[in-house]
Amino acid sequence: MTEHGHEQVVLVADAASGLRAVIAIHSTALGPALGGIRFWRYACDEDALRDALALSEAMTWKAALAGLDQGGGKAVVLVADPDAPHPADLLAALGRAVDELGGRYLAAEDVGATTADMDAIAAVTPWVTGVHEAAGGSGDPSPVTAWGVLHSMRAALRALDGPEAMLAGRRVAIQGAGKVGGHLADLLVDAGARVVVADSHGGRAARVAARVGGDHVGVDAILEQDCDLLAPCALGGVLDADTVPRLACRAVCGAANNQLAGRGVDELLARRGILHVPDFVAGAGGIINLAEEFHGYSRPRALARAAGIEQTTAAVLERSRVEGATPERVARALARERVAREGAGRRWRPGDPAGWTNGSPLRSLRPAGTVIGR
């Protein structure tokens, strides 16, 4: 926590429901910490803690670069099977833990979670985003995340091939054919690109490939696909000293959080001449979508704002070119600059304005105890 500047970490246990979770708040300097809840099969508590720390920090940089008045947080829940439905009593216990933070952490959907899970949590606390549209929420953020990645890819191609570069005719490899990867495949094919997908979950890649008229390969082969763009849309840590030498793409641009397995991997990519768009730049569409809920949700406005990721990507890549620093380094520096300038060492407390720059109170998303209709 000290090394990375985390403000608060809460370990949650509820014997009755069997809940074991970590809620990590990295920063509330720009506003309440927003970030998803990940349900995952962790080998041990320490792995879960490390994941929560790393993911919550990345959310701070993601929100800062997306221009949001939000901080960075994340919750991880230790489960045996992330794909199995999560019991109602476990979700209620998790909701109570979120509620106790009084709005310092705003929950949302992440890997292993569904919109219905957010609805169940909303029955216990107002501090949750991404509930169904019928309840005034923004629903599943993944279509907007995919939309943001698509725009980020456009900027990456222009950085590679000049101002006229287009997605049409390009080959894109997508690792992970889940919520984001599936929507991204649709958008890419609509833009005239060809896609190849892989997924560790039986049948998912084949289904997406059949739907969009693309190819599918095994999970071991996807990183070695000869392609223009590789889009990691599965889990983090996919780029390391073993995988980077095997890549056959010209650029990496995807939604998966924390794609770089450790320090220095961005330099390995640069040495191989592979353009890397930082995940917290390309994958900000989801958090942009969630933050729209605070202004009264509008999908067109969320999509328009997520399209702005194209300009952010272009600005990061241009500064990287000019300064000779990796895009990861440049993006982190820009995000840190904004947090230092506008956050000025503050910590958000219950009752504070939603964001320091607009001064309006944090709108309670819905009264606690609201029963969300399906």
Size of the site for ligand NAD (CB under 6 A): 27
Q: Report the side by side order of strands in the sheet with 227-232.
A: 215-216, 194-198, 171-175, 227-232, 249-252, 275-276
Give the shortest CB-241-to-ligand NAD separation in angstroms. 17
Instruction: Say whether residue 321 binds ligand NAD (CB under 6 A).
Output: no
Q: Which of residues 188-227 bind ligand NAD (CB under 6 A)?
A: 198-201, 204, 219
Stretch that binds ligand NAD, among 114-122, 253-261, 298-306, 333-341 (CB under 6 A): 253-261
Dihedral angle sign, alpha carbons of residues 238, 149, 132, 295? positive
Contacts of 275 (CB under 8 A, 6+ apart): 156, 159, 160, 250, 251, 252, 269, 317, 327
Rounded distance between C-alpha atoms, residue 115 and residue 92, angstroms: 15
CB 233 within 8 A of CB 208: no
Instruction: Say whether residue 235 binds ligand NAD (CB under 6 A).
Output: yes
User: Phi and psi at residue 92, in whole multiples of 5°?
Assistant: -65, -40
CB 284 within 8 A of CB 66: yes
DSSP letters, 324-362, are T--HHHHHHHHHHHHIIIIITT----TTSBS-TTT-PBP
Stretch that binds ligand NAD, among 177-185, 243-251, 311-319, 320-328 (CB under 6 A): 177-185
Contacts of 202 (CB under 8 A, 6+ apart): none
Q: Which amino acid is at 202?
A: G
Candidate list 139, 278, 283, 343; residue touching ligand NAD; CB under 6 A: 283
Could you give the string, one character per residue 340-369, with x where binding to ligand NAD holds by CB under 6 A and - elsewhere?
Answer: ------------------------------
Instruction: Say whether residue 286 binds ligand NAD (CB under 6 A).
Output: yes
Beta bridge partners of 24: 9, 74
- For ligand NAD, which is the closer residue by CB, 128 or 234? 234
Contacts of 249 (CB under 8 A, 6+ apart): 173, 225, 226, 227, 228, 229, 230, 274
Which pair of structure tokens corresponds to residue 295?
């202004």
- Cα 342–38–181 angle (5° rounding)? 90
Instruction: Say whether residue 288 binds ligand NAD (CB under 6 A).
Output: no
Candidate list 21, 120, 244, 256; residue touching ligand NAD; CB under 6 A: 256
Helices (H), the chain: 45-65, 88-100, 115-122, 142-161, 179-190, 204-212, 265-271, 279-282, 285-291, 299-307, 309-323, 327-338
Stretch that binds ligand NAD, among 151-159, 170-178, 239-247, 318-326 (CB under 6 A): 170-178
Give the shortest CB-257-to-ligand NAD separation in angstroms. 4
Active site residues: 74
Instruction: Say whether residue 139 binds ligand NAD (CB under 6 A).
Output: no
Instruction: Say whether residue 255 binds ligand NAD (CB under 6 A).
Output: yes
Stretch that binds ligand NAD, among 42-50, 232-240, 303-311, 339-347 (CB under 6 A): 232-240
Residue nearest to ligand NAD (CB): 178
Rounded distance between C-alpha atoms, residue 279 and residue 233, angstroms: 10
Instruction: Say whether residue 178 binds ligand NAD (CB under 6 A).
Output: yes
Rounded distance between C-alpha atoms, residue 203 and residue 183, angstroms: 16
- For ligand NAD, which is the closer residue by CB, 199 or 292? 199
Could you give the string, one character per residue 2-41, with x where binding to ligand NAD holds by CB under 6 A and - elsewhere?
Answer: ----------------------------------------
Instruction: Say whether residue 58 binds ligand NAD (CB under 6 A).
Output: no
Instruction: Say whether residue 180 binds ligand NAD (CB under 6 A).
Output: yes
Give the shortest CB-255-to-ligand NAD separation in angstroms. 4
Give the shortest CB-110-to-ligand NAD separation in angstroms. 5
Candidate list 32, 72, 73, 141; residue touching ligand NAD; CB under 6 A: 141
Instruction: Say whether residue 257 binds ligand NAD (CB under 6 A).
Output: yes
- For ligand NAD, which is the closer residue by CB, 283 or 327? 283
Among residues 156, 153, 124, 122, the alpha carbon closest in space to that of 137 is found at 122
Residue that is written with structure tokens 């045996």 in the block: 80
Residue that is written with structure tokens 């809460």 in the block: 10
* Interface residues toward ligand NAD, by CB under 6 A: 110-111, 141-142, 145, 175-181, 198-201, 204, 219, 233-236, 255-257, 283, 286
